Amino acid sequence: MSVNIIAEIGINHNGDIEICKKLMKVASDAGCNAVKFQKRNIDKVYTEAFLNGFRESPWGTTQRDQKKGLEFDKKEYDLISKFAKELNIDWFASAWDLDSLNFLKQYDCKYNKIASAMIVDKNFLENVAKEKKYTFISTGMSEMNEIKEAVNIFNNNSCPFELMHTVSTYPMADKDANLNCIPMLRKTFNCNVGYSGHESGLAISYAAIALGASSLERHITLNRTMYGSDQAASIEPNGLRQLVGAVRKIEISLGDGIKRIIPEEQVVAKKLREHLEKI
């Protein structure tokens, strides 16, 4: 099975549909399988006190101004859906509340995504699982018992899913990657396990694929110096092309694990062992 490569646009579009479309085109041209966004009803996700707090941003001086400035609504998602069809690339989004989950239903996306923040919300998980749509479940900020509870909900609802090993720091330090969780989670829960990375660079993502990650999700950006909390942990266009090319090469190189002499080796063996026939 080919690794599913997901370009996380998230909120790196900075509320600008033209930046969004450029990022979608970058992902498509690089050979990614899908692009992913984040959808929130900010009044449900954040408290009034938080939203009224000070935050300087291109949209104003409160947290509400900033969160609202980064949030796409139906007009933008209609354009995203249309442009994704033109590019022949899948798109989906991680909903952070039930209103957003219901909003996304109108687009009939191929996938759902549980953000790490939402893995502990059992009511939300039940509602997602009832859709019976293939779901990526990020496991950042969670203990094994919390992952087990989420897995049980999806199994009980006969909803197909894939765990995503995740460390929720931005950017993540190399020492915190703990990639051996990928085979551990796969063995423990008998399911596919992907990797959602927030590190700088590409080496850790390559290692995740070598350890058997079934999917790879990385944030993408046009430029890491752009405004936004996720930009520094994102990959620029050249890096994304390099990543996709290397992942496809690693996939081929892993093989099936069965030791054999390939036909090309037989020719070499005859030449290099010719002297043994004289003994």
Cβ atoms within 10 Å of 267's Cβ, excluding its own: 10
DSSP 3-state assignment of 251?
A: helix
**pLDDT lower than 50: segments of the chain:** none
**Residues forming beta bridges with residue 165, ordered by sequence position:** 195
Rounded-to-integer distance, Cα 32 and Cα 90, Å: 9
Kindly list the structural domains of the chain, giving each domain's residue range(s) and its CATH number in brackets, ordered by start: 4-278 (3.20.20.70)
ω into 171 cis (within 30 of 0): yes
Rounded-to-integer distance, Cα 195 and Cα 218, Å: 9
Cβ(35)–Cβ(84) below 8 Å: yes
Rounded-to-integer distance, Cα 271 and Cα 262, Å: 15
pLDDT of residue 279: 63
Rounded-to-integer distance, Cα 131 and Cα 126, Å: 9
- The number of C-alpha atoms within 13 Å of 116 and in the hemisphere containing its C-beta is 15
pLDDT in tens, 164-212: 999 999 999 999 999 999 999 999 999 999 999 999 999 999 999 999 9
Cβ atoms within 10 Å of 47's Cβ, excluding its own: 10
Largest CA distance in the chain: 88
Rounded-to-integer distance, Cα 9 and Cα 208, Å: 20
Q: Is the pTM of this model over 0.85?
A: yes
Pairing of strands 60-62, 54-57: antiparallel
- The share of the chain scoring above pLDDT 90, in percent, equals 97
